[in-house]
Amino acid sequence: MKNIFFFIGMPGTGKTFWGEKVSASFGYDFVDLDWYIEEKEGKNIASIFADDGEDHFRRLEQQALHELVDKAGESKPLVIACGGGTPCFLDNLHLMLQQGTVVYLRAALDTLVDHLCREDNFRPLLEAGMMHEKLYHLMEHRVAFYEQAHYIVDVENLSVATFGEIIHSHV
Q: Which candidate, 106, 102, 94, places its Cα nearest to that of 7? A: 102
Q: Judge whether 12 and 115 are in contact, CB under 8 Å.
A: yes
Q: Which amino acid would we find at residue 154?
A: D
Residue 88 located in a structural domain: yes
User: Would you write out the chain's pLDDT as a tens digit for each of its 171 residues?
Assistant: 578 999 999 998 999 999 999 999 999 999 999 999 999 999 999 899 999 999 999 999 999 999 999 988 667 899 999 999 999 999 999 999 999 999 999 999 888 878 777 766 655 555 556 777 888 999 999 999 999 999 999 999 899 999 988 888 876
What b/e string do you get for 40-50 counting C-beta neighbours within 10 Å, with b at 16 or more? ebeebbeebbe
Asked if residue 21 is part of any domain, the answer here is yes
Q: Are 13 and 109 in contact (CB under 8 A)?
A: no
We report the CATH number of the domain holding residue 148 as 3.40.50.300
Identify whether 44 is part of a domain.
yes
Neighbours of 9 (CB within 10 A): 27
Inside any domain, residue 171: no
Domain membership of residue 170 (yes or no) is no
- Residue 62 domain-assigned (yes or no): yes
Q: How many independent structural domains does the chain possess?
A: 1
Look up the pTM and report it: 0.91
pLDDT for 60 equals 98
Please check whether residue 56 lies inside any domain of the structure: yes
